[in-house]
Structure 1
Amino acid sequence: MGKVRRITIKEVAERAEVSKSTVSQFLNKRYEYMATLTKKRIEEAIKDLGYQPNIVARSLKQKSTRTIGVIVANILHTFSTEVSRAIEDVCNQKDFHTIICNADDHPEKEKKYIEMLRAKQVDGLIIFPTGNNRTLYKQMQEENYPVVFIDREVSQIPITSVLLENKKAASIAVDHFIEKGHTKIAMITTSIIHNVTARVERLEGYKQSLKRNGIPVRKEYIGSVRSAEILETLEEMLNLDQPPKAVLAGNDLVLIEVLKYIKQHHLRIPEDLAVIGIDDVSFASFYTPSITTVAQPTFQMGQSAAEILFNKMESSTNKDASIRFEPKLMVRNSG
């Protein structure tokens, strides 16, 4: 196949009977003082010729690709998709493009995405960090490269992080169980082997609430396992001599597995097992019975992360500090 010839800005200018600089001003939306007829001629010339701006050339000239990268730890989480949507909204308003990559909680995959996006010269990164690429994180921080973490912190890497008050999220859920008369309360979360901030803090909040209410923390009531092991873990808990009567699901993926188990074993909510999930999943309000959840302000968190990143891109003097958002207990019928 022959190579498709690219229409040049010079040809557009000749067709519209204006200078190349006038076309350039039009393409960069600097046409406040441009005559309406001139704008119309340029628009028609672009349409007639099928002109496509050379984004690479413009990026080199402006020293900006007008693109940011977002690397999520696991796109299957409701939190990840909602936050990514909010980030994309902010970028769209600022006429920036967004590239979203899914690391699947694999540090090596995350590393490849960071290197790829930086090679593409994106103007900044928002990362849900796996935590296991400390050398890369530190390098970006030392270079003053614009980067923001979300949902997680990485110890001794002073990069701005946008997070939930995770201990409080678990604590208000456990307090609600206790108000309903429960004392045998379990918690299941996905693995904390990589010290993922949200998971570690939520477990700590669960323990703190039990202790504050004079209820002993029972090791057999705590599960921190891979997603594939959640059903088996719940099975073991419910077959104890003194099984839990309430379970806190540490995130939306855990909640789905817990509900799957309950359905398979024909258990009743909340009579046989009371349930609260952290993350306000879309089906929570119309599930039967409706599911009590702890909601994160996902859209505000995503917007905040994007706005912080744009501030970093405009100024290298921004201080790095964590920003925490308040959880909200959505009381329904499962708790």
Structure 2
Amino acid sequence: MSPTPRRSTILEVAHLAGASKTSVSRYFGEERGRLSPSLQAQIAQAADTLGYQPNLMARGLKGGRSKLIGMLVADIRNPFSVAITHGVEQACRQYGYSLVVCNTDNDPEQERQHLDLLGAYQVEGLVVNASGSPERQLHTFISQGTPIVLLDREVDHVEVEVVGLDNHLAIDMALEHLTEQGYQAVLYVSEAPQQSSPRQKRLSRFSHAAEQHGLNYATSLLATSDSTATLQALSDFLTTQQQHACAVLCGNGNATLTVTRLFQQLSLPLGKVGLMGIDELDWCALVPPGITTLAQPTDAIGKTAVQCLVHRIAPHTSSMPTTLCFAPTLIERGSTQR
């Protein structure tokens, strides 16, 4: 059996480079600029020859700086979560941080466990897309001086920045578009709003805005694993409103996918029966004649969340963003052209 490969040490790098241990430590830390270009080149060459990698965790624990940002994601399978995580990761890299992502699967118990784990890793900041109400644990982080930014979803009694979509504006834009296209009755389909403040805001705003536009309207909540109730609600709505031009507005990407399948199951013609979704998905352009969506600026939202954190961690590094609530972009396709 071959022996387990041994990690090279900082002393070995220093010896091979003809430099002091302090100089090598500076090279791999935040004081590289204090070294001459020739010394930097010598250390880089020695580290490359030995295959040396600094132990960032040990350095962070010793100096109180882990250079880690923690991120809780409610559902990593959700396309919105994937896109947001990309924006957060890009911004972390820009500011010199590494990202630790934990998926909670919308399970409050997993959320608590992941928060304990991120605390053990001594993350310098937290981006939280909450699945439960981790109020107590988040207050523990805050009391320890760890800044937190809430992504998309609010948490009761946790007074920190919340970065995400302008949900009221999204509903207003959607109904304005559908009205302009001549639709007179709209069914709103949403996942259950519990534990999700954006869903609650969109659902509440829908009823109010639909009345303002003089629309006939109804709502349907998706069951966790069975779309039978939504299929019945869609059929009943179309039957009840058969004298009017009908459309369906979907509250997020998962709802759009479910309703698109129901349209196909019922052989409903897209356009004659309108279909529109909040959240842009890659496949929306591929389903003829294309599904109209409101796209969230996910990169901007993710980067803004990190900018808020970095400002709290090191104010000299980043200014506080002026915009935390973002407008969506209308992507008009054939599904809302009568």
Q: Report the TM-score when normalising by structure 1.
A: 0.90
Q: Which position in structure 2 is the counterpart of 1:202? A: 202
SS of structure 2 residue aligned to 1:201: helix
Gaps of 5+ in 2: none
Partner of 2:160: 159
Distance in 2 separating the partners of 1:322 and 1:152: 16
Q: Secondary structure at the match of 1:162?
A: strand
Distance 1:136 1:39, change over 3 A: closer
| Offset, 1:232 | 3.3
Q: Encode CA deviations 1:136-175: one digit per residue, 9 max, x unaligned.
A: 2233334432111010112332121102110221122122
Q: Which residue number corresponds to residue 26 of structure 1?
A: 27
Q: Give the letter aligned to residue 138 of structure 2.
A: Y
User: Closer, same or farther in 2 for the Cα pair 1:284/1:40, shift >3 Å?
Assistant: same
1:295 corresponds in structure 2 to 295
Distance 1:45 1:210 in 2: 68
Identity among equivalent pairs (%): 29
Give the match's secondary structure for 1:89. helix
Structure 1: distance between partners of 2:95 and 2:150: 20
Offset from partner CA, 1:49-80 (integer Å, 9 cap, x none) = 22221223211232111111111111122221
Q: 1:321 to 1:115 in 2, by over 3 A?
A: farther
Checking the alignment, whether the CA contact within 8 Å between 2:73 and 2:103 is kept in structure 1 is yes
Deviation at 1:11, TM superposition (A): 1.7
Is the Cα contact below 8 Å between 2:70 and 2:99 reproduced in 1? yes
**CA RMSD, 1 decimal:** 2.5
Once the two structures are superposed, what CA deviation does each residue of 1:189-221 show, in whole Å capped at 9, x if it has no partner?
A: 001133x1111111122112211123355xxx2
TM-score (norm 2): 0.89
What is the SS of the residue equivalent to 2:189?
A: strand
- Pick one of 203, 219, 224 that aligns with 1:222: 219
2:311 counterpart of 1:314: no
The answer for the alignment partner of 1:5 in structure 2 is: 6
Is 1:169–1:205's contact at 8 Å kept on the other side of the alignment? no
- Cα distance in 2 for partners of 1:236, 1:90 equals 42
Cα shift readout 1:243-268 (whole Å, capped 9, x = no counterpart): 57211010011101111111223221
Distance 2:208 2:46 in 1: 68
The CA deviation at 1:33 is 5.3
The residue aligned with 1:76 is 77
Map of 1:1-335 to 2, 5 A cutoff? Answer: 4-28=5-29, 30-32=31-33, 34-194=35-195, 196-217=196-217, 221-240=218-237, 241-243=239-241, 245-271=246-272, 273-314=273-314, 323-335=324-336
Work out whether residues 150 and 305 of structure 1, in 8 Å CA contact, stay in contact via their aligned partners in 2.
yes
> How far 1:329 sits from its partner (Å)?
2.1
CA distance in 2, matches of 1:120, 1:74: 22
What is the DSSP-based 3-state SS (H/G/I as helix, E as strand, rest coil) of the residue aligned with 2:335? coil
Residues in 1 aligned to 2:162 and 2:321: alpha-carbon distance in whole angstroms: 8
Q: Supply the AA of the counterpart residue of 1:155.
A: D
Aligned residue type for 1:97: S
CA contact (8 A) 1:160 1:322 kept: no
1:188, 1:230 within 8 Å by CA — same for their partners in 2?
Answer: no
Structure 1 stretches lacking a partner, 5+ long: none
Q: Which amino acid aligns with 2:259?
A: V
Q: Which runs of 4+ in 1 moved over 3 A?
A: 1-6, 29-37, 141-144, 229-232, 318-322
For residues 37 and 215 of structure 1, the distance between their equivalents in structure 2, rounded to whole angstroms, comes to 72
Moved more, 303-312 or 11-20: 11-20
Change (3 A) 1:283 1:225: closer
Q: Deviations over 1:259-283 (max 9, x none)?
A: 1111223221012x21000001122
Tell me which moved more, 227-236 or 100-109: 227-236
Separation of aligned partners in 2, 1:30 and 1:160? 32
- Change over 3 Å in CA distance of 1:103–1:322 after alignment to 2: farther
Amino acid at match of 1:289: P
Structure 1 CA distance for aligned equivalents of residues 250 and 47 of structure 2: 55
Q: Which amino acid aligns with 2:11?
A: K
Following the alignment from structure 1 to structure 2, what is the Cα–Cα distance between the partners of residues 239 and 57?
A: 62
More divergent stretch after superposition (103-112 vs 231-240)? 231-240
**Contact 2:253 / 2:279 at 8 angstroms: preserved in 1?**
yes
Q: Give how far 1:4 is off.
A: 4.3
DSSP 3-state at the match of 1:53:
coil
